[in-house]
Amino acid sequence: MLSQQELKQRVAAAAVEYVLPFMGADVVLGVGTGSTADLFIDALALHRQRFKGAAASSERSAARLAAHGIKVYDLNEVQGMPVYVDGADEMDAGLNMIKGGGGALTREKIVASVAERFVCIADESKLVERLGAFPLPIEVIPMARASVARRLELMGGRPQLRSGFVTDNGCQILDVAGLRIDVPASMEAEINNIPGVVTCGLFAIAGANVALLATQQGVRELR
């Protein structure tokens, strides 16, 4: 029986195999944040001569890439990327996701938006029938924390401030339990429209294009 850590290592290795055909001397790859993304970075480093560099969705991933000798590009310097690889906290069969457990959701959504395809990498415990058991992370401008929280309560949520946490953008995170997510893309748009919300952790308006899911039997690909 493989441990969760071993499953993450397998899917990280599978993700590197997936991106190899996209590599080239002028190619910048998009790299996400989290424990699975960390393992992807470590595996990617073995091929660092085969691509130009990476754009990272967090300071944490940027530091890890740089420590491996992979050049990190500011997103403003990057015209496009063939692929963005990142983990998820939950994913459904339609490849809608909840992200932001690591608090990097805004930069994740930004970097992903520049890439041609989003490859979600996870162990199969992240695949759910319906999104929402994992409290939805929402990045907020600090002065709007209370007003956004009240609006989320009206939507049926139970927001909780992520204590002692400041995002790479100098903002705060509300983790919202209890939301009934019937149509993920509609809820994403509704929450993103609340004044003071920077980003909501639903990735449904633009979900993943491909998911690589590590199972005890091997890595499954979902499209």
Strand stretches in 33-182, DSSP E: 53-56, 84-86, 90-91, 97-98, 118-123, 136-140, 158-161, 172-177
Q: Compute the half-sphere exposure of residue 195: CA atoms within 13 Å on the CB side of its CA.
A: 3
Q: Is residue 86 close enough to count as binding ligand 5RP by CB under 6 A?
A: yes
DSSP 18: H
Binding test (CB under 6 A) with ligand 5RP, winner from 44, 88, 136, 181 = 88
Rounded to whole angstroms, the Cα distance separating 59 from 50 reads 23
Rounded to whole angstroms, the Cα distance separating 201 from 192 reads 10
Q: How far is the CB of 99 from ligand 5RP (least distance, A)?
A: 3
**Which residue is catalytic, options 17, 59, 77, 108?**
108
Is 129 an active-site residue? Answer: no
Residues 24-43 that bind ligand 5RP (CB under 6 A): 32-36
Binding test (CB under 6 A) with ligand 5RP, winner from 99, 135, 157, 188 = 99
Q: How far is the CB of 122 from ligand 5RP (least distance, A)?
A: 7
Q: Whose structure tokens read 């993920």? A: 184
Q: Is residue 100 close enough to count as binding ligand 5RP by CB under 6 A?
A: yes
Indicate the annotated binding residues: 33-36, 86-89, 99-102, 126
Which residues are catalytically annotated?
Answer: 108
Binding site for ligand 5RP (CB under 6 A): 32-36, 86-89, 99-105, 108
